[in-house]
Amino acid sequence: MIKNLLKKIKNRDAKIGVIGLGYVGLPLAVEFGEVGFTVYGYDISKRKVSLINAGKSDIDDVPDEAVAKLVIAGKLIATDDYKKMKKVDTMSICVPTPLSKTKDPDVSYILSAVEMIKKVLHKEMLIILESTTYPGTTEDMILPLLQDSGFKVGRDFYLAFSPERVDPGNEKFMTGNTPRVVGGITPRCTKVAKLFYEQIINTAVPMSSTKAAEMVKLLENTFRSVNIGLVNEVAVMCDRLGLNVWEIIDAAATKPFGFMPFYPGPGLGGHCIPIDPHYLSWKLKSLNYYARFIELAGDINSSMPEYVVRRIVRLLNTGGRAVKGSKILILGVAYKKDIKDMRESPALDVIKLLEKEGAKLYYNDPFVPEIRWNKDIHRSSRLTAALVKRADLVVILTDHTQYNYQKIVDNAKLIFDTRNATKMVTRGRKKITTL
């Protein structure tokens, strides 16, 4: 039976199923479609399904043209009807895994996906979880549900975990050229899953278990969270010491060994780094272990919007102005440069805190035409010299490359740059305060 599935995958006759057509699922579906597979994408959003079937994309890294080409060729079919997934040979689960307000894992989307798979599960099917979660999820939670069907894993169906490694806006490393780790419940499961990913990527790294593969993803994002937390605290230290943190980091980065530069900012954003380490912390608490680095880094990173606002208050006070009533222009609200992704963006926290202080706020972001705060919709202001001149303070929260920073500095009264975006500016440096 395994030989038949392996042959289907090698010949690209296997029908691919993807559950969740967001930042992870849609790029994956497009990659498989572009190498010749027929892909069925399932999403609970009728709007999303209609958009994709119309040849459109709402994901930064997936152009409309790529989707349209596959839809026209019949290689990408989006649906909100689970019954249409009965015909697929593989099923990739790419659903969100958020945290509750108490920072407990919310695996409800995974459970809903597995319940749907149970209804269409058949022999010779490969199921892969890509959603980030705590170690043991695939084996302890998904496997028992699927084996309720009477099928045996490694014989009748194959189950594996392979964490997504999506970095929105990264033009160098995308789905196709980023290595994947793959861990199956059994060696056969790993073999099938490895071959599956080798159809679209250069390197698939086999792991000893699903739990090991789950831990890899959490290590990757915990590494970033902890190091960003460290450099954010160093930024606070340098402020107290009267030092420029950007100068310190650049000098340290000249060391050819033993140092890797990370950079401070107004806080963490995106769906992974602010969230994923807490999955590991939560799991360890159940084993009576307190993950100190994770909790400390989380505290520091989540406090950065408040620190940014304190710096703004101090900066305005130095110039003889109160925050209340001051006109503040926010530049950039996406969580990172050159994308429209707003998930967990620290800019929203900074905006809310400044509004509480009574500031008169307006923003510009070339990628985000409108945002919602306090139940109101606010639209991006057109970035003109007059707009910049009107502001008592310009705050750079996202360092989009589309901005002409020299022109912004030339027209601004005062700038607080949280990203060191103005480092190449030559005129008017006295107007600039960096994080």
Within 185-283, strands assigned E span 204-206
Q: Within its chain, how far is the Cα of 179 from the centroid?
A: 17
Q: Which amino acid is at 433?
A: T
DSSP, res 177:
G
DSSP, residue by residue, 81-124: -GGGGGG-SEEEE-----B-TTS-B--HHHHHHHHHHHHH--TT
- 3-state class (DSSP) for residue 179: coil
Radius of gyration of the chain (CA): 24
DSSP, residue by residue, 312-326: HHHHHHHTT--STT-
Q: CB of 26 within 8 A of CB of 52?
A: yes
CA distance 340 to 403: 15
Return the structure tokens found at 390.
Answer: 């009107």
Phi, psi of 320 (to 5 degrees): 80, 20
Q: Residue 310, Cβ neighbours under 10 Å: how many?
A: 13
Helix axes 46-53, 64-72, angle to 10 degrees: 80
Residue of 409, 309, 314 lying closest to 361 (CA atoms)? 309
Q: CB of 307 within 8 A of CB of 236?
A: yes
Helix %, strand %, coil % of the chain (to 5)? 45, 15, 40
CA distance 185 to 157: 11
Handedness of CA 381, 383, 388, 389 (dihedral sign): negative
Residue of 138, 130, 202, 135 lying closest to 166 (CA atoms)? 130
Residue of 351, 388, 345 lying closest to 367 (CA atoms)? 345
Q: CB of 306 within 8 A of CB of 230?
A: no
Residue 153, by phi and psi: left (phi above 0), alpha (psi -120 to 50) or beta?
beta
Known catalytic residues?
272
- 3-state class (DSSP) for residue 431: helix
Q: CB of 96 within 8 A of CB of 20?
A: yes
